[in-house]
Amino acid sequence: MALKETIKDLPDSPGVYIMKDKKGEIIYIGKASSLKKRVSSYFYASRKPSPKSDVLISHVNDIETITTGSEAEALLFEASLIKEHKPRYNAALKDDKSYPLIKITTNERFPRIFVTRGKKDDGAKYYGPYTDVKLLKIAVKILRRIFPIRACKSICKTACLDYHIRLCAGPCVGKISEEDYNEIVRQACLFLEGKKEELLKCLFEKMKKFASQLEYEKAARIRDQIKALTTVVTKPQRYRAIDEIEEIKRVLNLPKVPRRIEAFDISDIYGKEAVGSMVRFIDGKPDRDNYRKFRIKWVEGIDDYAMMKEVVYRRYKRVIEEGIELPDLIVIDGGKGHLSSACEELKRLDIETVPVIGIAKGHETIFVHPVRKKLSNGVENKTSPIILPPASKILHLIQRIRDEAHRFAIKYHRGLRRKIPSESELDNIPGIGEKRKANLIRYFGSIENIKKADIKDMLKVAGMNKKSTQSIVDYFEK
């Protein structure tokens, strides 16, 4: 019954399926363009009898799946998993002359990767064989997006197309050092040899090293590699939100489980109608009755940091005055600047024992503010940024809380915008459309500030050029 439910919930997407017996041992690994259709076909009553399939199905007790972006990706994952686990029902393809292989050269200064047939005694590394040459060529291209290894037969004198479309790191033209290039080749070999865990561990260590050295761009590039290599097991699993917040305590080194989490966001499009939001989560679930919205009162123009200060101060000044229980964790939508701004106001209110984190969009880096050297229980607070793997459940929870604060702020902001007229003097100026008008008001904060601005300042605004800037100057000089 449980197996039928598992099959029923399988996704209609490409990927790899992993069949296990009653002991939990992997007995067969296969790929599919549609996991749902392929796995279901094994259990059709109308299925054509096959001694091998009949024996296999009689031993299947559980099925897990790994989704991929395409069937070609599934081909690579299938091969690496088979090499890693060696399931007894996967027949080995022994005739290397008949099937395609992946070859990585070793006798060149900058090794290259390509599809070939037949092994040679040339010291190169061969992977496979595979069953579908067309699919394999697509798969190699996908592999090169993760590990940009050259494929051209000769050393190029100028950067080739592969470099420009990010399929090659450009070693021929000095775009990468020989040491760093060889490291990429080594990583690709680990993957093709089925040593995925070793590879991911290596990448995680590098990512943490770059993050601790504040080299966030390098850390982000490795994070993207990890994201491409990290797949999601879609076998139905039940996770309790309480388990996730307990894990947050461990990862962030908090003094206690963050049962009460409050998150803040600012929405400041057009400046004058800037708003802030606060959402509250209890045991990992939204507590909508205790959401709060703030219309910015004290800040003129566009200053996200000052707005965050205002919202945080107003919230916790009221918390203190009304004797409301403080949260176990505060989440700020933003990076180090927003986080520091919020913490300045908490210090001003003498609230220094509540842990505060910021999560920056895009890189999804988590910053933990060292409000005090030690928390009340003597535990050292983390100061280095934290980069969690893309599949992390606790990252997903923090993102969900952050995104809910953002959604609530946007909803409030749009409601206010609908109540005010959208016309302005800028509508009368030729060449100033809605986008330029929005960018100008966002940059300067008001029409009065635009009137006072000079051409040099106006040209700093996104979308503005000399002609449109001159039109504004001429209009207000009339």
* DSSP class per residue in 47-77: PPP-HHHHHHHHH--EEEEEE-SSHHHHHHH
Element (H, E) at 186: helix 178-192
Place of tokens 């996730």: 244
Based on the domain organization, do 325 and 450 belong to the same domain?
no
Cα–Cα distance, 448 to 428 (Å, whole number): 15
> Residue 125 — φ and ψ, nearest 5°?
-100, 130
Q: Looking at the domain assignment, is residue 93 inside a domain?
A: no
Name residues whose C-beta falls within 8 Å of residue 253's C-beta, 6 or more positions apart in sequence: 379, 380, 381, 382
Q: What percent of the chain clears pLDDT 90, i.e. is strictly above it?
A: 18
CA dihedral for 410, 416, 419, 424, sign (positive or negative)? negative
For 215-243, the pLDDT digits (tens) are 877 788 787 777 766 543 333 333 456 67
List the 26-32 sheet strands across, edge first.
26-32, 15-20, 62-67
- pLDDT for position 92: 57
Token readout for 89 is 């029902």
The CA–CA distances, whole Å, from 334 to 129, 233, 264, 404 equal 48, 30, 9, 14
Based on the domain organization, do 204 and 266 belong to the same domain?
no
Based on the domain organization, do 176 and 324 belong to the same domain?
no
Based on the domain organization, do 377 and 256 belong to the same domain?
yes
Count structural domains, the chain. 4
- For the beta carbon of residue 343, count every other beta carbon within 10 angstroms: 22
Q: Is 261 helix (H, G, I), strand (E, B) or coil?
A: strand
Domain that holds residue 10: 2-85
Contact call for residues 278 and 405 (beta carbons, < 8 A): yes
Burial class (CB in 10 A: 0-12, 13-18, 19+), 156: middle
Cα–Cα distance, 220 to 364 (Å, whole number): 9
Based on the domain organization, do 32 and 127 belong to the same domain?
no
Amino acid identity of 18?
Answer: I
Q: Looking at the domain assignment, is residue 366 inside a domain?
A: yes
Based on the domain organization, do 206 and 271 belong to the same domain?
no
Based on the domain organization, do 15 and 160 belong to the same domain?
no
Q: 281 vs 438, which has greater pLDDT? A: 281
Q: Is 279 helix (H, G, I), strand (E, B) or coil?
A: strand
Based on the domain organization, do 264 and 318 belong to the same domain?
yes
- For the beta carbon of residue 464, count every other beta carbon within 10 angstroms: 20
CATH of the domain at 456: 1.10.150.20
- For the beta carbon of residue 192, count every other beta carbon within 10 angstroms: 23
- pLDDT for position 167: 87
Dihedral, 144, 145, 147, 152 alpha carbons, nearest 10 = 40
Cα–Cα distance, 60 to 24 (Å, whole number): 10
Q: Looking at the domain assignment, is residue 394 inside a domain?
A: yes
> In the 8-state DSSP scheme, what is residue 428?
G
Based on the domain organization, do 197 and 114 belong to the same domain?
yes
- Measured in whole angstroms, the distance separating CA 56 from the mean position of its chain's CA atoms is 38
Of the candidates 235, 332, 177, which has an alpha carbon nearest to the alpha carbon of residue 24?
Answer: 235
For the chain, what is the radius of gyration of the CA atoms? 28
Token readout for 469 is 């800037």
Token readout for 385 is 């940024």
- For the beta carbon of residue 361, count every other beta carbon within 10 angstroms: 13
For 306-342, the pLDDT digits (tens) are 999 999 999 999 999 988 999 999 999 998 899 999 9
Based on the domain organization, do 246 and 322 belong to the same domain?
yes
CATH of the domain at 16: 3.40.1440.10
Based on the domain organization, do 389 and 332 belong to the same domain?
yes
Q: Looking at the domain assignment, is residue 235 inside a domain?
A: no
> In the 8-state DSSP scheme, what is residue 382?
P
Per the prediction, the chain carries an average pLDDT of 81
> Among 34-48, 250-264, 444-458, which range has the highest average pLDDT?
250-264
Question: What confidence category does residue 372 fall into, taking pLDDT thresholds of 50, 70 and 90?
Answer: very low
pTM of the full structure: 0.45
Of the candidates 311, 291, 304, 312, which has an alpha carbon nearest to the alpha carbon of residue 335?
Answer: 304
Amino acid identity of 335?
Answer: G
Of the candidates 302, 326, 312, which has an alpha carbon nearest to the alpha carbon of residue 276?
Answer: 312
- pLDDT for position 401: 94
Based on the domain organization, do 401 and 260 belong to the same domain?
yes
**Residue 260 forms beta bridges with which residues?**
282
Q: Looking at the domain assignment, is residue 368 inside a domain?
A: yes
* pLDDT score of 383 more than 60: no
Q: Using N-to-C axis directions, what is the helix angle for 336-348 and 304-322, rounded to 10°?
A: 30
